[in-house]
Structure 1
């Protein structure tokens, strides 16, 4: 089944794990329950995700300490591990508290400087990838910045680079301007394109018209949005264009999330087989 048109997949660029995480964040987090794999398979069949893909994704999530299996007779249930709960709560915070528009920037920057020898080229690549994921942008060789105070210990964890990294907070002083730092370290147009793509998909009278119900729309919506805000470095609004598309995109997300919440919960209630833990 294709949702949203013949050439449009259920969730562009979204892996089954991202969709399953959205599902668990909405329908399992803080509920004290585990959900049967059979009912998860039934939910994701509505999105066009195969049983094989769901089972293999759940198995990987168990191996990665994201899910715990429980067996009751012939049925298998999966529940969240403490690690998964922490990840999902971070996602919930980014969606509902941090938001897409940074209107409260205090003028400070977190600065990460590093220099790694060529013998650790792979570690250098991993560090850069983690910094991008954490909202940092490259200002110049070996010097990365992010607006506001950012926690960096988690970024560095397991890389064994503490002796090669310096972390500071700083402010821009003339002749350097904050707007120049934003323009140099971040691809503003690429970020804007992502939000415009979200609006093209969701700022419609009836998004995903081929979806069977609002549970499917809810899962795709939340997955799309969380991917967006996780990739957004949360740049200060005062240094972004006045027509910054994240403003409208956040309004659309919140309106759609509220619209789908009750009907999606009703559909889920008829599908989910839950085990109280």
Structure 2
């Protein structure tokens, strides 16, 4: 998946009552979480009114929902399906790929790299200054794939990475050099990681997640467990998409993602079943091929 496929929208969602922190999440991010949990793999297209009713639980108004659906159609993430006077929206091959990737990052890969083989991937690129769009796309794709920048066109990832699918379609033959192997002395690996990755910012994101969710009865102002589940999984996905999954031996002491993942799994066990029941009761759909 490319960085360009990350979601964006103009307005924040969700009520923000004083004294109770809520995730500040964009409607399209929440929309993809909803689609990944309740539409992916079912061969259905959802009635627009169902989106409006469901996202009202999150404080997202009708105008924001309709605007989000329209933008997602324009980006090739949704397809319209009309039945009479009612408009339904279904997934595309592109959105299915994004949703499967998100599902893998949240529930299968885990946030910790516990089986690192000691290898790094180093990528260096050089291209004409006039290739600004290509440069931007490449940087976005590398960030999405877990690379961090050391500057001067040099990027590293804490594993052996096949970069061919990452750079596919950018026509960069002759402009890239890729190596893989262990770091050699006198490389200061902790300093290199802090140079390439915003570890303080990432840790701050995990701590904010814990402040919100690692407590008895998280988000008591939320209307129900469907709202909590969508908020929680969307927030976590945004964190892990920015996390390069550094080897555990190179993580700072007390890395908050460890506890964060424990909390996520505990709350999934609490919220998942009631959230699905609420989602199923609220959705109207048609079958699509």
Range class of TM-score, shorter chain: over 0.9
2:80–2:90: 8 Å Cα contact kept in structure 1? yes
Rounded to whole Å, the distance in 2 between the matches of 1:195 and 1:250 is: 9
Gaps of 5+ in 1: none
After TM superposition, the structure 1 = structure 2 runs for residues 127-206 of structure 1, keeping only pairs within 5 Å, are 127-206=138-217
| 3-state SS in 2 of match to 1:206 | coil
Equivalence for 2:18: 6
| 3-state SS in 2 of match to 1:118 | coil
1:116 has 2:118 as partner: no
| 3-state SS in 2 of match to 1:244 | coil
Per mean C-alpha deviation after superposition, the further-off stretch among 17-26 and 239-248 is 239-248
Equivalence for 1:258: 269
Give the TM-score normalised by structure 1. 0.93
1:210 has 2:226 as partner: no
Equivalence for 1:76: 87
Per mean C-alpha deviation after superposition, the further-off stretch among 180-189 and 25-34 is 180-189
Rounded to whole Å, the distance in 1 between the matches of 2:62 and 2:151 is: 46
* Equivalenced residues, count: 276
Please list the CA deviations of residues 161-185 of structure 1 after superposition, one character each: whole Å capped at 9, or x if unmatched.
3321112212112222543432332
The alpha carbon displacement at 1:73 in A equals: 1.7
Gaps of 5+ in 2: 1-12
The alpha carbon displacement at 1:212 in A equals: 0.6
Equivalence for 2:5: none
1:192–1:246: 8 Å Cα contact kept in structure 2? yes
Task: Compute the RMSD of aligned alpha carbons.
Answer: 1.9
1:137–1:145: 8 Å Cα contact kept in structure 2? yes
Rounded to whole Å, the distance in 1 between the matches of 2:132 and 2:285 is: 47
1:91 has 2:84 as partner: no
The alpha carbon displacement at 1:141 in A equals: 1.8
1:238 has 2:244 as partner: no
Rounded to whole Å, the distance in 1 between the matches of 2:260 and 2:21 is: 20
